Structure 1
Amino acid sequence: MKKHSLDQKIDRISYLPNEIRGHIFSFLSLKDVVKTSILSKQWEHVCSSLSDMKFDLSDFTRIKRDTGEFRDFVDELMLRHDNSDIKRFSLNTKVDDKFLTSSHVNAWISFAVRHKVQIFYLWKFSKRVEKLPLCFFTCSTIAELSLFYIKIEWPTVVKFPSLKYFHLYGVCFYNENTIEQLISSCTCPMLEDLLIEHCDLAVETLSISIPSLKFLKLLEENLVYFNLASSTLREINCYCCEPPNISSETLLSLLSVDCQFLQGPNSTDHAECASKILIGLQNVKTLSLGSNFIEFISRDHNLAAYLPSSYWSLKDLQLDIYSTRNHVQVIKLLLRSCPNLQIVCIEIEQDIKELTSVLNMTNMEEYWKLNELPPADILNKLRTVEIKFFEGSWSELHLVSYILQNAKFLEKMSFSCTFRQQESVERNLRKSDMLTAFTKLAPNVAILLS
């Protein structure tokens, strides 16, 4: 067989399909993508039809960020681009510099809009309020929009008819009506995923009612009141000051819930509001509740009467609790209503003496003593239990004993603690003979301490 000379060999790089070439480029910075143009003749004009444009000022870091070089690089790529559409446009920069001004950034944003951008990310560090081009606020092709650390002057007319994913992180609003107008069904009629984190919303009360919404993440330390109504919502991650007001239809639609409150209860109304949330989650499959949530519902004298007899769909339960009798009783009550539960993870927060004054806790121990729950054969699907930051207090041992008595087919129970805690935990277990008792209660369960 004749050996082919080098110039007769097939140039495999040149004939890579566009899909594979695009996948390769997705792992590279734009500076490196430009360098690939020397690899083959077919790639000489690769930069004229890029569909994924990720401009990051940090890629131009030497001793300090060279904004002039960055500006020229972006301008050059846009001049070389043909009429092809842009799928993703990402810009991470700053404008407080004599070489890079708002007019440059706005020209680049307008370029992306003209080329029918679908995914748009903007990180823009600036001390002043920015006026973005009006065409951006009515872009009909943007399906994913993420804004980070930016102060924007929003116009009267905003319309994103194709937007399905909207992420706001560290965004400052100056008009109290802007945020609700922005996330309304009129502005975003197709919105499915909404994430609002660490923003200055300029409001104390936020109401969300979007018929198409499926996922919501809300992490706002300064938001006092929150109203939610969306019967299509499937998943929510909520980190706010107090229990939100969620409609019954929304609660029934939820399949995955992570709910944490940043402040403790200071009225019975808050306790009832938290209980309403828990009672309404009758179709939830994955549930995560923070320690303040547990504290809220432990104040509700009517919880036992109104809690559903069974959360049939719930399989994964994650809980943060304080090591108190009240919290243990609430957890026992909740476990009794979860016949199909498979995984339980409990993280115990210590230093309860310091937290007592902060949480303004009401002594509910007498109430819970009167409502002690007898053992019941109700956790037959439970297979795995993990307890984090375990110290072996009476309340913790009582909870462990309750689980072992009722989870007849449990396979593994693990206790994890800090290095500082481990010696005291082992001592407490030996002293109380609880480890031996646990083994007798559940001889087939692998009990691990780490």
Structure 2
Amino acid sequence: MGKRKRHKDDTVHPHSSVSQKFSEEHNVGEGNDIISSLPENVLLHILSFLSTKDAIRTSILSRKWEYLWTSISIIELDGAYPLAAKKKKRHLLDFVERVLLLHDASDIKILILVLYKRVNSSRLSSWICALIRHNIEELDLSLHWNTQPILPCCLFTCQSLVVLKLSMYWSLKVPSVTHFSKLKTLELSNVTFPDDNSTQHLFSSCPVLQELGLVNCGWKNLKTITICIPTLKKLQIENELMRSEDVVSCVTKIYATNLIHLDCFNCLIVDFHLHDLSSLVDASICSYDDMLEQDLVPRVLRLLTGIFNVTKLSTTSEMVEYLTPVENLLDRLPTFYNMTHLVLNSEFCGHHSIGVLMDLLEKSPKLEFLNFDQGFDPFDEDDWMSRRVPSCFASSLKTVRIADFDEKPVEMQFIRFLLKNATILESLTLCSNSEDMKEKQQRKERKVQLNNLPRGSKSCVIELIWS
């Protein structure tokens, strides 16, 4: 590459460590500015790997770089200054304004904006309107202040938005004219829904929505939420922070024939009615709330019945524990004809929960993988060998994993029961962090003891892992 005459304003900044390092490593002479001679689309690709602030800083490198940042398509602005002084706040808002309003005519694909200090509604509206003019595709707004702003109506009719994420501690006021023609992902965090009708109107205004996330939203004003979205493939509902009686009374009806993934955390705070989830592949149903005093059995049974088509189920021991008072539980549980994977992602414990687990396994005739992801320590220590053997032990169960294994009596009872009756078991993995098994020799001795236990499957491999 030939040398060119350097313009006096085209000098690499003396404090640019990036340019110095490049020059030193490649023995570039004073007249060679190899990076700046690259095509503009390549330079923009390089900028895409930098933070927005660093991309703007490149404007000092040379004349060619001066306005290059105004064409960047991904903008991330995190004003994480909850205790910032007024001067810093003004500087931040001016910076946001400069980035958005000085952007050239090219499209802005993604904007991630996190603000902790109040921005007046007119200023916020001008930013959003500017984004819409630039055909914004993904908008992630996290606005952490208490005063209710007014979001511009044009946001709710944006024709270019594919992903919209809103995190804000206000009531979400949905305009009467709302239509997201291309929106495929909608995630709402911490918002309060004002009433049943506005919520229904929002969901029905997303004709091609595929992913919906509702995280710590306030549902106290609602009696019924109806999510009827035929195109929906993934639904996430988390209610970790909710504890009020108003929320408990809320009924959520879900009609989603194409739903594949369902993720519900603290789900029993809301009463779910699931309809025709025939496409469901995996579900994570978790409840860690032991503060609810009402009878949860109907909700648990209704929820399990609604997901009976699932292939993989992740749940908690608390969900199992809720069913312990049920008489003739085996007759009331649905049959999980397609389920091959069952994961218990909290320590399996509780009074009389072993019986519920055995009933659940009996209702899973094709189960292949059973994972006690946080350990196995139920309070029951009765005679395992007298229990009914689930049919999947002889027909399908191939892999079992137990975390936090430390040779408690109840663990060993279950392992003896499993090894004796799981006739096609291929793998039993025991993960331990006990100091007694820290040394390889100690694990080897324990493994020999385990291998000497009576077993129905001669091909089963027992693996003991210390972590």
Q: TM-score range with shorter-chain normalisation?
A: 0.7 to 0.9
Range 68-77 or range 311-320, more displaced = 311-320
Equivalent residue for 2:110, pick from 65, 88, 100: 88
Structure 2 residue 415 is matched with structure 1 residue 400 = yes
| 1:26-105 alignment, distance < 5 Å | 26-58=48-80, 66-96=88-118, 100-105=119-124
Residues 416 and 453 in structure 2, CA contact (< 8 A), matched pair in contact too: no
Residues 15 and 42 in structure 1, CA contact (< 8 A), matched pair in contact too: no
Give the drift of 1:327.
1.8
Cα displacement string for residues 164-184 of structure 1 (whole angstroms, at most 9, x for unaligned residues)? 1111111233445333322x2
Q: Who is 1:440 aligned against? A: 453
Residues 348 and 372 in structure 2, CA contact (< 8 A), matched pair in contact too: no
Give the drift of 1:214.
0.6
Q: Who is 2:7 aligned against? A: none
Q: Who is 1:323 aligned against? A: 349
Structure 2 residue 34 is matched with structure 1 residue 11 = yes
Give the drift of 1:16.
4.7
Equivalent residue for 2:184, pick from 158, 164, 181: 164
Q: Who is 2:159 aligned against? A: 140
Residues 375 and 403 in structure 2, CA contact (< 8 A), matched pair in contact too: yes
Q: Who is 1:361 aligned against? A: none
Give the drift of 1:59.
8.2
Structure 1: state its 5+ residue gaps.
Answer: 354-364, 424-429
Give the drift of 1:197.
0.8
Question: Identical aligned pairs, as a percentage?
Answer: 24
Equivalent residue for 1:199, pick from 214, 217, 220: 217
Give the drift of 1:211.
1.0
Give distance in 1, aligned partners of 2:168 and 2:429.
43
Give the drift of 1:343.
4.9
Q: Who is 2:272 aligned against? A: 245
Q: Who is 2:193 aligned against? A: 173
Equivalent residue for 1:229, pick from 243, 251, 255: 255
Q: Who is 1:332 aligned against? A: 358
Q: Who is 2:280 aligned against? A: 254
Residues 328 and 399 in structure 1, CA contact (< 8 A), matched pair in contact too: no
Q: Who is 2:17 aligned against? A: none
Give distance in 2, aligned partners of 1:444 and 1:414.
11
Q: TM-score, normalised by structure 2?
A: 0.76
Give the drift of 1:238.
0.8
Q: Who is 2:297 aligned against? A: 271
Q: Who is 1:426 aligned against? A: none
How many residues align? The count is 419
Q: Partner of 2:187: helix, strand, or coil?
A: strand
Give distance in 2, aligned partners of 1:54 and 1:348.
41
Give the drift of 1:128.
1.3
Query: C-alpha root-mean-square deviation of aligned residues, in Å?
Result: 4.0
Give the drift of 1:200.
1.4
Q: Who is 1:357 aligned against? A: none
Residues 310 and 336 in structure 2, CA contact (< 8 A), matched pair in contact too: no
Give the drift of 1:40.
4.6
**Counterpart residue identity of residue 127, structure 1:** N
Q: Partner of 2:225: helix, strand, or coil?
A: strand
Structure 2: state its 5+ residue gaps.
Answer: 5-27, 439-444
Give distance in 1, aligned partners of 2:405 and 2:58.
51
Give distance in 1, aligned partners of 2:447 and 2:82.
61
